[in-house]
Structure 1
């Protein structure tokens, strides 16, 4: 547990998959922290002070030392609080965990978000849907156990919270079929196990408001087409 001498803050907003990653790691480790809500439409002086380079959330602040970028934050948390490790001990497995987590951000998150926002170019949208599907296929083949971390959730599982919670939201809002039980049975089963993990459940944002936000955003994109 964080002691009184350790001040731990998390600047973020409810509904962000990247903030949710950090919250899951903190809860798994049993670290007490203060959540500082941020409005990205009107960024606070605190956010600009702690993350002047990217001006984005999440920002993790430990004893006034700020760290940004969710995967970097996860590694810092794991190295600082060694209980309930989320990265594997063996160097090769650690390297693989880093590889697949980066792959999730660069291939799956990036392509699926582009597919949502490209509404006036069917060919480009189909390209991004295909890239998302191909990338999910690689992850499907990589999943060997109940979780990517084995019997317990680990680094890659936490990085993949976007796939488990946010991709189904994207599907419901847009009608795009990205993650289905028929096409990716192992990944789909993993997503259900992951979402029902007690710590993950308590960190996820309430679905209805997030769905409403995404739908309003998507409807505005359609209206401006």
Structure 2
């Protein structure tokens, strides 16, 4: 039976950060109302609930807004610690998890976005090289932190699984649209097995958006870019 919590989630389909919060809400069986946000025409609700960043997701609990996906994930874990715990109990493990999550969101994710939106082959190849190096580091971290388990969290999906797992749909999108394996069997065998395990998990599979949603989100991101100069367009 779902936990009775009066929550609302303001989000945009295709956003990995919104997907991340949805993972935790479903893993913890929390009922919530989803409010779809149009990032191309931001609502008054978003502007007033997250005026500093004006980004999704925003979680409303008892009418109080909470922003930033990692903050929301930890908040949900704190208010329902006994239902599918997300963060490790050991303080040192928790610190290592938080450090890697910071790397994923502030370094690795921007490389993915840079690759996706690059307008010339040189910049795309440079971003690709950085992503491959970052994926190798994540492979090493998985071997260490999973402690022989199926997931970063061991035998159960944990904090880093939802932090990195929110990009699984985008990894698939990269393979389909760009022909690029962000994580590759030859380079990252343990992460590939992790990816398969995540996709086979009922909760994770049910939350990841469709390929069509990712394509629409990609087109929206392209729409935010400034017009390409003619002399640049001619070289592509």
Fold shared, TM-score > 0.5 on shorter chain: yes
Q: Deviation per CA, 1:125-182, whole angstroms, max 9, x where unpaired?
A: 3222111111111111122321000010000000012442212212321233422222
Deviation at 1:207, TM superposition (A): 2.3
Residues 147 and 153 of structure 1 are in contact (CA less than 8 Å); yes or no, is this contact kept in structure 2?
yes
Quote the residue 2:158 is aligned against. Answer: 154
The aligned length equals 221
Gaps of 5+ in 1: none
TM-score, normalised relative to structure 2: 0.86
TM-score (norm 1): 0.90
1:206 corresponds in structure 2 to: 210
1:179 aligns with 2:183: yes
Q: Which residue in 2 is equivalent to 1:107?
A: 107
Contact preservation (8 Å) 1:173, 1:211: no
User: Is it true that 1:169 corresponds to 2:173 in the alignment?
Assistant: yes
Equivalents in 2 of 1:192, 1:219: separation in Å? 32
1:60 alignment partner, SS class: strand
Q: Which residue of 2 aligns with 1:18?
A: 17
Is 2:40 aligned against 1:36? no
What does the per-residue CA deviation read over 1:171-205, in whole Å, with 9 as the maximum and x for residues that have no partner? 32123342222221111111111011111111111
| Inter-CA distance 127–72: structure 2 relative to 1 (3 Å threshold) | same
Distance in 1 separating the partners of 2:202 and 2:181: 27
Contact persistence 1:108–1:132 (CA under 8 A): yes
- Alpha-carbon RMSD across the aligned residues, in angstroms, is 2.2
Structure 2 regions of 5+ residues with no counterpart? 144-148
Q: 1:62 to 1:169 in 2, by over 3 A?
A: same
Name the counterpart of 2:146. Answer: none
- CA distance in 1 between partners of 2:223 and 2:95 (Å): 41
Name segments (4+ residues, structure 1) moved above 6 Å.
Answer: 215-221
In 2, the alpha carbon distance for the partners of 1:156 and 1:149 equals: 7
Looking at structure 1, the residues matched to 48 and 220 of structure 2 have their Cα atoms a distance apart, in angstroms, of 31
Distance 2:37 2:28 in 1: 24
Find the counterpart in structure 1 of residue 50 from structure 2: 51
Q: Counterpart of 1:128 in 2: which secondary structure?
A: helix
